[in-house]
């Protein structure tokens, strides 16, 4: 099971490190390895949240996520995305932007850094909406009940998450955006932050809305036509073999890709603290992204989220923290290690809470923790 799920990740690691060593030497190999470890350690919350969405898809779309999805994650977000930023910022063609990255890596780094306010606003708003929709939603299992119960009651108010997110965007635009961090100092990026933040909100509403719409339609059809199949699913132990397909699966996959991109924004910018060589960054972050994808599939196939029910809560709290951090970094620089530690602490806390819950339930009833309310 472990080799089948992580086999491609191991192979990509060997190929990536070999290429780095052969083409650029020992320094490149060390940098690529360091970036890989950082990407894995800082993105565990991404894997947990992705697993919560991926478990809804059937086996075919899970393979698409691990194959086509990783091409988008590596070549799209880790290589093409920074080049696109430079191309737009410097008003250069993509080829000229790549040439700039190779010939003048410091200038290339500055151009990517200068685009950070727009990137942070877009990604921050997208992630904030994910957190708000989670925290304002009603659910049978609650982790931090003293927070989640009152917020779930407030969540009955229509459009509360959108209003809250827009308020956060407005506050950010009128505070941190007025002295946005740039490579040459600070400048007013209020209009840029507002525009990018609204774009992030619209992207979430469109992609998430379409995914939810087709998912609901598919569930209604299955309820009418596949009652026998539903009974079979309930009798099976572990995650069901079937799942979303068709349009519902496509838009859920699209939602996953945008979600992964939002997680990647800060990591791509932060990687410049280690190197400004774009191919080293693409290799290192790409290897890390591959492990995160494999870990997501592993969590789904093992039914980990069903066994440790608070993990998803911890990951969403980490998403909320990351969203706030992204908005704060519009003006202030925050070390990537601090950002990662916040997520690690929240997920470790939720994991330990899940273990304690399972022990208490098992001691009281002697049944499987999955049966706990």
Q: Give the range of the structural domain holding residue 325, as residue numbers without chain letter.
A: 2-371
Tell me the per-residue pLDDT of 44-88, one tens digit each, with 9 for 90 and over.
777 887 887 788 777 788 778 777 777 777 777 777 777 777 777
Q: Are 128 and 171 in contact (CB under 8 A)?
A: no
Domain count across the chain: 1
| Residue whose token pair is 């700039």 | 100
Which burial class, exposed, middle or buried, applies to 349 when counting CB atoms under 10 A from its CB (0-12, 13-18, 19+)? Answer: middle
Res 224: pLDDT: 62
Q: Let me know: does 281 contact 78? Beta carbons within 8 Å.
A: yes
CB 259 within 8 A of CB 50: yes
- CA dist., res. 339 & res. 337, Å (int): 5
- What residues in the chain have per-residue pLDDT under 50? 228, 238-241, 371, 373
The pLDDT score that the predictor gives to residue 363 is 64
pTM passes above 0.85:
no
């Amino acid at each position: 099971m472990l080799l089948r799920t992580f086999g491609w990740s191991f192979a990509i690691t060997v190929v990536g490190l070999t290429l780095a060593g052969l083409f650029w030497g020992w320094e490149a190999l060390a940098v690529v390895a360091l970036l890989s470890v950082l990407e894995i350690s800082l993105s565990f919350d991404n894997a947990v949240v992705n697993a919560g969405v991926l478990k809804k898809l059937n086996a075919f779309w899970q393979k698409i996520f691990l194959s086509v999805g990783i091409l988008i994650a590596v070549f799209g977000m880790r290589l093409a995305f920074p080049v696109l930023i430079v191309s737009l910022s410097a008003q250069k063609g993509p080829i000229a932007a790549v040439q700039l990255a190779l010939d003048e890596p410091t200038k290339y780094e500055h151009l990517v850094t200068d685009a950070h306010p727009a990137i942070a606003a877009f990604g921050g708003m997208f992630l904030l909406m994910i957190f708000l929709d989670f925290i304002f939603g009603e659910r049978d299992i609650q982790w931090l009940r003293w927070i989640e119960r009152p917020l779930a009651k407030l969540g009955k108010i229509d459009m509360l998450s959108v209003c809250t997110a827009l308020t956060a965007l407005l506050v950010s635009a009128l505070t941190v955006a007025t002295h946005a961090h740039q490579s040459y100092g600070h400048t007013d990026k209020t209009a840029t932050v507002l525009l990018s933040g609204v774009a992030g909100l619209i992207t979430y509403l469109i992609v998430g809305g379409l995914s939810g719409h087709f998912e609901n339609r598919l569930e209604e059809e299955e309820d009418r036509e596949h009652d026998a199949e539903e009974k079979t699913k309930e009798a099976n132990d572990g995650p069901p073999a079937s799942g979303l397909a068709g349009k519902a699966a496509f838009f859920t996959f699209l939602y996953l890709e945008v979600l992964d991109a939002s997680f990647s924004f800060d990591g791509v910018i932060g990687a410049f603290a280690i190197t400004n060589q774009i191919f080293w960054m693409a290799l290192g972050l790409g290897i890390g992204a591959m492990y995160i994808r494999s870990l997501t599939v592993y969590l789904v196939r093992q039914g980990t989220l069903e066994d440790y029910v608070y993990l998803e809560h911890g990951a969403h709290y980490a998403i909320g923290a990351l969203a706030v951090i992204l908005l704060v970094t519009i003006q202030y620089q925050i070390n990537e290690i601090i950002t990662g530690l916040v997520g690690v602490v929240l997920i470790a806390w939720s994991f330990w809470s899940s273990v304690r819950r399972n022990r208490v339930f098992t001691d009281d009833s002697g049944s499987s923790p999955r049966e706990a309310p």
